[in-house]
Amino acid sequence: MNTFDNASPHSGSGTNGVVEELRKCGFKGQIQVLSRETTQPFDRTKLSKALIGDLSKIAWRSPKFYENAGIEMIKDEATSIDFSSKKVSTASGKTYDYTKLVLAPGGHPKSLPLDGLKEGELENVFILRSLVHTQAINAALGDSSKKVVVIGSSFIGMEVANCIAGMEAKHDVTVVGMDKVPTEAIFGEKIGRTFQSLLEKNGVKFTMGAEVDGAKPKDGSKKVGSLHLKDGTVLDADLIIEGVGVG
pLDDT single digits (tens) 48-81: 999 999 999 999 999 999 999 999 999 998 899 9
Kindly give the pairing relationship between strand 172-176 and strand 147-151. Answer: parallel
CATH of residue 82's domain is: 3.50.50.60
Tell me if 221 is assigned to some domain: yes
The count of structural domains within the chain is 2
| N- to C-terminal Cα separation, the chain | 31
Q: Choose the final residue of a domain: 70, 103, 136.
A: 103
Q: How many other C-beta atoms are found inside a 10 Å radius of the C-beta of residue 220?
A: 6
Q: Cβ distance 231 to 93 under 8 Å?
A: no
pLDDT bin (cut points 50, 70, 90) of residue 105 is confident
The answer to whether residue 4 scores a pLDDT higher than 70 is no
Tell me if 168 is assigned to some domain: yes
Which region holds residue 133: left if phi is over 0, alpha if psi is between -120 and 50, else beta?
Answer: alpha
Strand partners, 216: 226
How many Å apart are CA 186 and CA 205, to the nearest integer?
21
Residue 31's domain comprises 3-103
Comparing 4 with 136, the larger pLDDT belongs to 136
Tell me if 112 is assigned to some domain: no
**pLDDT single digits (tens) 7-40:** 333 467 888 899 999 999 999 999 999 988 878 8
**pLDDT single digits (tens) 127-153:** 998 899 999 999 999 999 999 999 999
Q: Are residues 75 and 174 in the same domain?
A: no
Tell me if 77 is assigned to some domain: yes
Q: Are residues 238 and 162 in the same domain?
A: yes
Q: Are residues 173 and 67 in the same domain?
A: no
**pLDDT single digits (tens) 180-236:** 999 999 999 999 999 999 999 999 999 999 999 999 999 888 999 999 999 999 999
Q: Choose the final residue of a domain: 71, 103, 135.
A: 103
3-class secondary structure for the chain?
CCEEECCCCCCCHHHHHHHHHHHHCCCCCCEEEEECCCCCCECCHHHHHHCCCCHHHHECCCHHHHHHCCEEEEECCEEEEECCCCEEEECCCCEEECCCEEECCCCCECCCCCCCCCCCCCECEECCCCHHHHHHHHHHHCCCCCEEEEECCCHHHHHHHHHHHCCCCCCEEEEECCCCCCCHHHHCHHHHHHHHHHHHHCCCEEECCCCEEEEEECCCCCEEEEEEECCCCEEECCEEEECCCEC
Q: Choose the final residue of a domain: 73, 103, 133.
A: 103
Kindly give the pairing relationship between strand 125-126 and strand 101-103. Answer: unpaired
How many Å apart are CA 1 and CA 6, to the nearest integer?
16
